[in-house]
Amino acid sequence: MDLDPAQLRAFLAVTERRHFGRAAEELAITQQALSKRIARLEEVLGERLLDRDGRGARPTAAGERLIEPARAVLAACAAAVTAVRGAARPLRLDVWGHLFAPLRTVGAVAVEPGAVEIGHGRDLPSVLAALLRGEIDAGFGRHHALPDGRHRELAHRLVRLEPVDVVVGPDHPLAGATELRPCDLRTSQLLLPTAPARLEFLRRFAERFELTSSAVGSNLGAEHFLARLAATPTAVTLLPADLPLPDAPGLRGIPLVEPTPLYAWSLVWPKRAPHPGIPALLRAFTEAGRRRRWLEYHPERDWLPEAEAAQLGEAVR
């Protein structure tokens, strides 16, 4: 009699939330898939486990009897994993995309104390290499395909679509505007903190909205970059809308509309032997994202480069 832990997890999620849709969201599957899991579990056990009505679901008597034993099965599974791998160690998470301050988002996610160790940040290739070598367990940043195909060994989940503002210096001709369209920037120069090949989002923005771009130089730091921006009247750059601007004199962040560019943040982790804490981390991000509406996307008014390149389906995956 083989009980499937995924089915038990689905069942427990519904008993906790009393609602198939929210349980499905917690598990990051569709409601229909969750419904099927429950149905399969009910078929294996030969008992109705949940009474459904138009407002949700609640456990039957048989379902009530299953709740604690189901938790025990999942705990036994976790203990078996721990026995093989040794004592549970914190999940090591590292981030990339320093200029867009990934730690803001990570910090907004409630995780169990001690369960996650957050690295100091690296660039994307370094994070991905560390993931593939098993030196870290997860990465957070804007994920895109790598030319050598190694990303295929990684799983990823889109967790946030963040609006991006344009940032200008005090002498920029459009500095007084309350909002701007990307096409208004055509006469401006997009300033890049480093080589464009390393900044896929900004490069795509420049291509899409026909800005010339100029790289400051090799990693001289955010302060230097922003000082350069402030001192260059024709220069603009992009930063997340809710990122506090540093104290560089006169810099303004102006909302972009028609369309608003969205920066896609994802979690990434190795497909092979994932750390046992990955599911909990994913759930924590999903929960935070639901509460803060991190995944809102309106195609008629937002610009999401992944959607243009038909990568969104994979990213949601």
Partner DNA sequence: CAGCTTTGACAACCATTGGTTGTCGGCGAG
Partner DNA sequence: CTCGCCGACAACCAATGGTTGTCAAAGCTG
Does 57 contact its own copies by CB under 8 A? no
Does 87 contact its own copies by CB under 8 A? no
Does 12 contact its own copies by CB under 8 A? no
Q: Which one of 17, 22, 28, 47 is in contact with its own copies (CB under 8 A)?
A: 47
Backbone angles phi, psi at 274, to 5 degrees: -65, 150
Query: Closer CB to DNA, residue 4 or residue 171?
Result: 4
Decide: residue 69, CB within 10 A, 0-12 exposed, 13-18 middle, 19+ buried.
exposed
Does 81 contact its own copies by CB under 8 A? yes
Do 241 and 247 meet the contact criterion of CB atoms below 8 Å apart?
no
| Dist. CA 164–CA 142, nearest whole Å | 13
Using alpha carbons only, give the angle 283, 285, 290 rounded to the nearest 5 degrees.
Answer: 95
N-term to C-term CA, the chain? 31
Q: Which one of 30, 51, 52, 69 is in contact with its own copies (CB under 8 A)?
A: 69
Report in angstroms the alpha-carbon separations of 141 from 77, 205, 289.
Answer: 31, 17, 15
Does 53 contact its own copies by CB under 8 A? no
Length of the chain in terms of residues written: 317
Does 55 contact DNA by CB under 7 A? yes
Cβ neighbors of 140 (< 8 A, separation 6 or more) are 93, 94, 95, 96, 102, 105, 106, 159, 265, 266, 267, 268
Q: Which residues pair with 180 in a beta bridge?
A: 256
Q: Which one of 21, 241, 274, 295 is in contact with its own copies (CB under 8 A)?
A: 274
Pick the piece of the chain touching its own copies (CB under 8 A) from 43-51, 120-128, 156-164, 202-210: 43-51
Query: Closer CB to its own copies, residue 61 or residue 110?
Result: 61
Query: Closer CB to DNA, residue 23 or residue 202?
Result: 23
Query: Closer CB to DNA, residue 32 or residue 82?
Result: 32
Contacts with DNA by CB under 7 A: the residue count is 24
Q: Which one of 13, 25, 37, 106 is in contact with DNA (CB under 7 A)?
A: 37
In the complex, what is the shortest distance from the CB of residue 238 to its own copies, in angstroms, rounded to a whole number?
Answer: 38
Q: Which residues bind DNA (CB under 7 A)?
A: 4, 6, 19-21, 29-33, 35-40, 52-57, 313, 316
Q: Which residues bind its own copies (CB under 8 A)?
A: 1-6, 8-9, 43-47, 49, 62, 65-66, 68-70, 72-73, 75-81, 83-85, 272-274, 276, 278-279
